[in-house]
Structure 1
């Protein structure tokens, strides 16, 4: 142990180079000094998972993984630009630099990953992810921990499922007996309960191996959350080797019936989010206690955050809830953890029952074999003896309890009769409620049948009159686009981003298309127009207006198609193509403006041209920026511009087709 400590103390801080670091960042694979650790703690657990080398709880495999990564020089991954680019202006701070200089460097290095190596993704993000996942699946079977770490940092998924192998990287590491590779995958979120193509989990494979240390480590990670909660409440952990997976203290905490009821009503995904947030808060408080117990951290407490730092990958409401956990007193937090443990055990038992029931084979009968007459005779005699014994035992218990409580038989009978009456009343009330519910169900069923009938009639009429524009149905027409986005227009103006799936937002009844003739037959009656032209002095103007209307409709089709393509583009992953569709929309708007006389709709045409130019500007800004906030803001403006263009185009088309 002394030799190990001497080797550990000879290491240096990965961020400033200070000697004798006493903290470490597990997921970054580096050691940290006191000052740099204070900045890492303010970043949040989702950026850097810090632990004390002397006072925190470490497993042997976790400590070995950390020093293996640190000694292999994985810090060069985070400082790639500093080492390979001599023209880079940023320099690594020294141990004597001010704290704000170190803070600026650490945030750029670990939070923004400004100096890390960025691989080329020209082949497409999905292709790169598949290739990295396959490489990680092969790398974890070897002892080269640095290669696996680099693959994960570059974007390999620790839970990647190899279609050809039928397993995840954690399955491959467990089968190969690589304990440190397994620890690395677990650090980055690998699931030890994920089944492979054969239905076996990594825990199942580790259980069959001779190496019990690997099996125990996977078992501890499987129950890591509940083990930390039990240790926080009673300073003890369950013994998983003996089959004890939950340890709920009976003293020191009290359950709240209202809180338990609310926890039971939560769906599984919301309950898991709550458990993860409480786990992070417990980990923060434990790290804070270790931090305050160190004498050399008193001057650095100004940088401490009294609540969980904001995680940009989570919603605003959830971040606010995580920060409110910091305001809980210790007894309040312990009561909440106790209730979570109780409901976790209940959910675990229910899931096991469902799993056992689902594993029943269809070939196995769900009934017992029929007994013979001799068996029935023997069973009847046994039941008589057992009933006599039970009757005598129950009578003795009743007499004993009556003598002890001092209640007479008459009072007991009256109490029993009263309870029976109450039960009868309750049953009557429930029957009455059931009758009312049946009536409501019948009424709703009748209404549903009527609606289905009307819907079938409406669909029949629509199928007869349905027209297609450039291969797109009416749902994808400009009118449909306006109706879908009308409800979301207020949200777009107020600054909130709403992603609408056009296919899911399809209305049951198809809206009237602006391309359909509102009244009269579909083919124009040229004889009527001719007679009308003879009676009207403006025959030439009317004919010119009709030809102009046809040009307007053709230009409108181009605008509509461009908006459809832009809408699909910004909803998908290939958003860089949105600038191409913005150019198409702008060109279509120019053609539409050229087809309309200036004196008829000058203001609307100008508004259309300005909107098309603004749409192109927003698409350019979307393509040239990588920030999540700027991208969301640009998407919001693009949707608003597209909606305004569609609305103004509808005004022009309606004006021409109304005549």
Structure 2
């Protein structure tokens, strides 16, 4: 962006100086405070980008600049320019106004309610009016007058309107005329570069015929914008469309997935492949919106002055509701925010892979293995519906050991259940989201996890006091507990460290425990509540050290912190029998130990200088936090279980 523009710009909504964001579809520049309101409205109302910290296609930025400089804001504030509006008390926001409610109410009225847009005279047939506007748009895009076209679009003209007499869309006309900025504007409002006219030609064809090579290349990029954005989100690269490469399918950096997650992921992918093209496109667009939300969140947090701007009031925790979508679709869109970084990356890769398959016309895989995976996933989901909703289901897929000992009758019954599941009707997005949601534990931000740990510490102290009264014969005085320092850690030599890692595999022979027991059987060999509380508090204190390191971006502290957590987890796991009879204890121990192992693996990725490891420290930190959250959750479950059993 030119220095001239940046020195003279003011916020379109409150006239504050030096706006750093743009509303792409509104053609305006806005300040941080007003942008926080725009983001809460959703992308269907305002598509925001940071002017410096978001990558821009050059012609898209040029389009927004042109609209802003040519008075596009007057389209959205038309009636406020009338002197009579001052007399009526209506006015726009100013920089001194509070964000809530003053600026927020004005921005919602301006963009969501379109309260100040020029209204056309009322007519009996609204469809005729929309058709007339679209015909005007069709003829206007051959010129460079962007604000006229934006005004028509704001009044209801359709970017994909197919002119019955001309046999083409506005994008065909703009491409034939070489109007690249008009093409950008039309694409922002949903124009499809792949649409054919009555002669079977696309806008790309007309741009190439007219020698408008930059426009032709840009139209191809727009055609693949969704999949390009998803690929760039994961690996920071885009396909080389000029040389015929239209898809990049990134690979997961960490393939050490547990059996449960990998099989659930395969089952979810199978559901994804079964979606109709229409539902798949809806899901892909929703994931695109979620990528935009996450990337904008990252830019937002990185650019705010936290001492002067209260970010808690401007957080967009999930995709805002789009009233044009069904309630089911809106609920599915909001579920996407619950996916942690690893789970969301898996979903994005699945969508990229299936988008490529669908475009190339590759048939679906019909392997029996995939069919049985769906069956096992659905079957286990049904069997766990009666479990406490507060405790996530971490063992919803049977282990290989369980599968080997299944009877033929059981398999036949499962196959019949699956056949019914797949033949009842087409798979919906909701079906897919239900399977995929089994992967979601709940993504914890640093502040949220600190709160969880603080609450857990308080609960532990309360439980400890209760346990002391109930187990006087085995307990120690409260003063001993409160003043007990950390247990002395074992010698941190390489052999000892390897031994700890082996102890994480549950049980010791590396096989997964049998999860087929139908009832919880209280184990007489459970450790005392007092001992479990001691170890849990040690774990939570170590987790808090790790979170402080994450907050302070001291990534070199990750590994020492993870080692201390690993030692504490190993010592806590050693309190329990090797094969506890309680299914709930076994599930919690598996989560505890596997999360500690994953935490060590993730923390190693933060080490600088290793080219084989990912360089996205922010992604690594998210994974580290998620692992820490899972450890704290499992420890709390074990305290609750032992307290309950020992008190019975």
Work out whether residues 82 and 88 of structure 1, in 8 Å CA contact, stay in contact via their aligned partners in 2.
no
Partners of 2:351 and 2:42 in 1: CA distance: 24
Partners of 2:245 and 2:284 in 1: CA distance: 20
Partners of 2:29 and 2:363 in 1: CA distance: 42
Match of 2:328 among 304, 317, 338: 317
Correspondence for 2:300: 291
3-state SS of the aligned residue for 1:165? coil
The question of 1:167 aligning with 2:168 is answered yes
- Deviation, 1:145, is 1.1
Correspondence for 1:342: 353
Partners of 1:6 and 1:227 in 2: CA distance: 32
Correspondence for 1:7: 5
Partners of 2:363 and 2:126 in 1: CA distance: 38
Partners of 2:40 and 2:311 in 1: CA distance: 11
Correspondence for 1:30: 28
Correspondence for 1:482: none
The question of 1:263 aligning with 2:264 is answered no
Partners of 2:153 and 2:232 in 1: CA distance: 31
Correspondence for 2:240: 239
Change (3 A) 1:19 1:299: same
Per-residue Cα deviation, 1:319-357 (whole angstroms, up to 9, x for no partner): 11111100100000000111111111111111899xxxx
Alignment of 1:224-623 (within 5 A): 224-252=225-253, 256-296=265-305, 298-350=309-361
Partners of 1:352 and 1:54 in 2: CA distance: 43
Correspondence for 2:89: 89
Choose 1 or 2 for highest CA Rg. Answer: 1
The question of 1:184 aligning with 2:185 is answered yes
3-state SS of the aligned residue for 2:59? helix
Partners of 2:330 and 2:300 in 1: CA distance: 24
Alignment of 1:66-85 (within 5 A): 66-84=64-82, 85=84
3-state SS of the aligned residue for 1:31? strand
Partners of 1:97 and 1:123 in 2: CA distance: 41
Partners of 1:164 and 1:177 in 2: CA distance: 22
Per-residue Cα deviation, 1:236-279 (whole angstroms, up to 9, x for no partner): 11100000001112342667321221111111111111111111
3-state SS of the aligned residue for 1:12? coil
Partners of 2:254 and 2:346 in 1: CA distance: 6
- Deviation, 1:74, is 1.4
3-state SS of the aligned residue for 2:361? helix
- Deviation, 1:115, is 1.3
Instruction: Structure 2: state its 5+ residue gaps.
Output: 256-261, 365-411, 417-648
Partners of 1:159 and 1:15 in 2: CA distance: 29
- Deviation, 1:296, is 2.2
Match of 1:47 among 45, 48, 54: 45
Work out whether residues 252 and 346 of structure 2, in 8 Å CA contact, stay in contact via their aligned partners in 1.
no
Per-residue Cα deviation, 1:78-110 (whole angstroms, up to 9, x for no partner): 111211233432211211111121111111111
Per-residue Cα deviation, 1:53-95 (whole angstroms, up to 9, x for no partner): 0111111111111111111111111111211233432211211
- Deviation, 1:111, is 1.1
Work out whether residues 193 and 219 of structure 2, in 8 Å CA contact, stay in contact via their aligned partners in 1.
yes
Aligned length: 353
Change (3 A) 1:104 1:251: closer
Per-residue Cα deviation, 1:400-444 (whole angstroms, up to 9, x for no partner): xxxxxxxxxxxxxxxxxxxxxxxxxxxxx9xxx9xxxxxxxxxxx
- Deviation, 1:210, is 2.1
- Deviation, 1:129, is 1.6
Correspondence for 1:407: none
Partners of 2:232 and 2:128 in 1: CA distance: 43
| Stretch of structure 1 that moved more, 206-215 or 62-71 | 206-215
Work out whether residues 70 and 147 of structure 2, in 8 Å CA contact, stay in contact via their aligned partners in 1.
yes
Work out whether residues 133 and 160 of structure 1, in 8 Å CA contact, stay in contact via their aligned partners in 2.
yes
Work out whether residues 80 and 116 of structure 1, in 8 Å CA contact, stay in contact via their aligned partners in 2.
yes
Change (3 A) 1:251 1:327: closer
Correspondence for 1:205: 206
Per-residue Cα deviation, 1:450-477 (whole angstroms, up to 9, x for no partner): xxxxxxxxxxxxxxxxxxxxxxxxxxxx
Work out whether residues 195 and 201 of structure 1, in 8 Å CA contact, stay in contact via their aligned partners in 2.
yes
Partners of 2:145 and 2:51 in 1: CA distance: 24
3-state SS of the aligned residue for 1:13? coil
Partners of 2:163 and 2:129 in 1: CA distance: 14
Instruction: Structure 1: state its 5+ residue gaps.
Output: 354-428, 434-659
Change (3 A) 1:352 1:214: farther
Correspondence for 1:425: none
Work out whether residues 24 and 51 of structure 1, in 8 Å CA contact, stay in contact via their aligned partners in 2.
yes
3-state SS of the aligned residue for 1:296? coil
Partners of 2:235 and 2:16 in 1: CA distance: 38
Partners of 2:188 and 2:230 in 1: CA distance: 19
Runs in 1 of length 4+ with deviation above 4 angstroms? Answer: none
Per-residue Cα deviation, 1:143-167 (whole angstroms, up to 9, x for no partner): 1111111111111111111111110
Partners of 2:353 and 2:317 in 1: CA distance: 28
Partners of 2:252 and 2:336 in 1: CA distance: 23
Partners of 1:189 and 1:177 in 2: CA distance: 19
Work out whether residues 253 and 334 of structure 1, in 8 Å CA contact, stay in contact via their aligned partners in 2.
no
Change (3 A) 1:12 1:148: same
Partners of 1:317 and 1:230 in 2: CA distance: 27
3-state SS of the aligned residue for 1:24? strand
- Deviation, 1:6, is 3.2
Work out whether residues 231 and 237 of structure 1, in 8 Å CA contact, stay in contact via their aligned partners in 2.
yes
Partners of 1:156 and 1:303 in 2: CA distance: 33
Correspondence for 1:503: none
Change (3 A) 1:327 1:251: closer
Partners of 2:72 and 2:141 in 1: CA distance: 16
Change (3 A) 1:249 1:351: closer
Work out whether residues 14 and 34 of structure 2, in 8 Å CA contact, stay in contact via their aligned partners in 1.
yes
Work out whether residues 159 and 190 of structure 2, in 8 Å CA contact, stay in contact via their aligned partners in 1.
yes
Per-residue Cα deviation, 1:28-58 (whole angstroms, up to 9, x for no partner): 1111011101111111111000100011111
User: What CA RMSD, in Å, does the superposition of the two structures yield over aligned residues?
Assistant: 2.0
3-state SS of the aligned residue for 1:310? coil
Correspondence for 1:62: 60
Correspondence for 2:110: 109
- Deviation, 1:123, is 5.1
